[in-house]
Amino acid sequence: MRFLALALGICVAANAAAQTVTARGARSCALWSENRLDARGGHLLGAQFYQTWLVGYLSGVAAGTGVDLLGSVPNAPLFQRVDRYCAENPAANLAQAGATVARELMQSGVIYWGP
């Protein structure tokens, strides 16, 4: 059953990545990086806005796939992964970063799949 859920999650993520979808409010990776740097300097509001958007996006992916992406993963490692993605892809947006993180979580097997 666990293998079936993993396979289904990977197929859904792969299919979602292959299709063009509209993600409203998805700001650029360049702005993510800028605001994350500002947060390190004590200006937290911008970073919190982007981080909240990302967690909401991943929550939506979880609801849409039925896979508990966030159940066993704290936010800090998610944000660090997006930091790396955005450093490598500054022209991308947060929806692309979030889809990449979701796909990696599904492939890693660290997700709690529930009963």
| Per-residue pLDDT tens digits for 33-83 | 887 776 566 666 667 888 999 999 999 999 998 888 888 889 999 999 999
Q: Which long-range contacts (CB under 8 A, 24 or more apart) does 58-64 make?
A: 58/98, 58/101, 58/102, 61/13, 61/16, 61/98, 61/99, 61/102, 64/12
Answer for the pair 61, 17: CB distance below 8 angstroms, yes or no. Answer: no
pLDDT score at 20? 60
Domain ranges of the chain: 2-108
pLDDT score at 43? 61
pLDDT score at 103? 92
Could you tell me the CA-to-CA distances from 105 to 24, 28, 37, 41, 62 in Å, in that order?
23, 22, 25, 30, 11
**The pTM is what?**
0.70
| Per-residue pLDDT tens digits for 11-47 | 444 444 455 656 565 677 888 888 777 656 666 666 7
pLDDT score at 27? 74
